[in-house]
Chain A
Amino acid sequence: MSSGDSNPAATPTPCVDIQGDGRWMSLHNHFVSNSKDKEPDVLFVGDSLVQLLHQFEVWRELFSPLHALNFGVGGDETQHVLWRLSNGELAHISPKVVVLWVGTHNHGHTAEQICGGIMAIVQLIKDKLPKAYTLVLGVLPRGKMPNPLRERNAQVNKLVKDAVSSLPHASLLNVDPGFVHSDGSISHQDLYDFLHLTPQGYQAVCQPLHAHLKGLLEKQAEN
């Protein structure tokens, strides 16, 4: 992927406040100041899938014990996460593992552009935290029935998987436990609005994620 200028998904861009309450910037500032007295071993960063995870019991069960911080912002696209990480959210912490989950909200971008955005974030993390491992989570399928966004997300995952295959400090983990049934449908019991996870959906995603994370942390400890 060439330089950020030619790919909007890989060009750090803050969210412009069009609604009128400045919430995006407030959250960013909150994350920056919140990180000043924390020493997380794991940082989760991304969009609403990350943000909502923090609200449910599963976070306290599985990820608080791993000393994890959550910098998820609803609606964020790759270029927004790139901006946040370039502007202070990594300045005061040295997590051993960064879990990155973003891309599904990049509407108007191609799968290649979204992959480029994700890889730009992976590179940025490497630059700022040379010892950290980046675990990219695969973008989940969405919509009740088959649709172009499912194809786009699957293509993003394939491209990212290829791109990280040669990197020692990053990998892609597919966290879809099989949400799409044999008739092509997704259940609202797993994705309550066919995009966001229910607590049940999070359990199915997070159990294997947690096991994988523990393995990574143990390996980091050995190094």
Chain B
Amino acid sequence: MSGDEINPAAVAQAVEDVQGDDRWMSQHTRFVQECKDAEPEVLFIGDSMVQLMQQYEIWRELFSPLHALNFGIGGDTTCNVLWRLQNGELDNIRPMVTVVWVGTNNHEHSAEQVAGGILAIAQLLTSRLPKTKVVVLGLLARGDGPNPLREKNAAVNGFLRSWLPRLGQAQFLDVGAGFVHSDGTISTRDMFDFLHLTAAGYRAIAKPLSDLLLQILDETPEEKRASLV
């Protein structure tokens, strides 16, 4: 990607209140407040894929015990996540791992731009929290049958696979295996609207993710944990 052009997917941008009840800002404000009170070891940030996970039992089973905070907001793009991270959602916390899951809502941007936006988020995290590991989750397939958004999301994942290893602290985790059946369809048993995960869908992705998180947390020795605070 040319260094001269600005990537619109990497430009921080707040969500404007067009509906009239200011919910996006209310959610952001609540997260900033949570940073003052909590001492998370794991931070999840992203869009509705992150946000909805906290409403299912699986969160309480696998991620609450890891002292995880959930800063997901439905509809968010990479731009919105960047803005939130730059405007208070990283203040006063020192998570050992940050899980990033965003990009499927970046409808105005190309796959390369979206990947660039996600990379910018990973770069921001490693610069603000130098000792933190960043786990970027791959974008899932979406839609009932094959469609351009599946190709786009797969292309985003392709870029991330090659770019992320260049950031020493960041890694890519693909949790999308198994959702697309041999006939090209996705089942509503996994994604109730062919985009958002059901309890069963989350259970399938939570296992590899929690295994990786436990591995990372175990690798961080006690002395190092203390110095992160």
Tell me, yes or no, whether A binds B.
Answer: yes
Known contacts A21-B147, A73-B193; is-contact A147 B188 (Cβ 8 Å) = no
Known contacts A143-B21, A198-B55; is-contact A19 B149 (Cβ 8 Å) = yes
Structural contact, B199 and A26, CB atoms closer than 8 A: no
The chain B residues found within 8 Å of chain A, CB to CB, are 18-23, 26-27, 30, 51, 54-57, 73-74, 107, 142-145, 147-150, 188, 192-196, 198-199
Query: Which B residues are CB-close (under 8 A) to A54?
Result: 192
> Nearest Cβ in chain A — how far from B35, in angstroms?
15
Of B20, B73, B193, which contacts A193 at CB under 8 A? B73
Of B18, B23, B142, B150, which contacts A195 at CB under 8 A? B23
> Nearest Cβ in chain B — how far from A176, in angstroms?
16
The chain A residues found within 8 Å of chain B, CB to CB, are 18-23, 26-27, 30, 51, 54-57, 73-74, 107, 142-145, 147-150, 188, 192-196, 198-199
> Nearest Cβ in chain A — how far from B80, in angstroms?
13
Structural contact, A199 and B73, CB atoms closer than 8 A: no
Of A21, A144, A199, which contacts B149 at CB under 8 A? A21
Structural contact, A192 and B193, CB atoms closer than 8 A: no
13 more CB-based (< 8 A) A-B contacts, given A148-B20, A149-B20, A149-B21: A20-B148, A21-B144, A22-B143, A23-B194, A55-B192, A56-B55, A74-B193, A107-B18, A144-B26, A145-B22, A192-B51, A193-B74, A196-B74
The CA of A83 and the CA of B178, in the complex, are separated in Å by 34
Structural contact, A143 and B22, CB atoms closer than 8 A: yes
Known contacts A55-B198, A194-B23; is-contact A188 B30 (Cβ 8 Å) = yes
Closest residue to A34 on the B side, CB-wise?
B188
20 sample A-B contacts, Cβ–Cβ < 8 Å, listed by A number: A20-B107, A21-B142, A21-B195, A23-B195, A26-B145, A26-B194, A30-B144, A55-B199, A56-B55, A57-B57, A73-B193, A107-B19, A143-B21, A144-B30, A145-B26, A147-B21, A147-B22, A148-B20, A149-B20, A150-B21
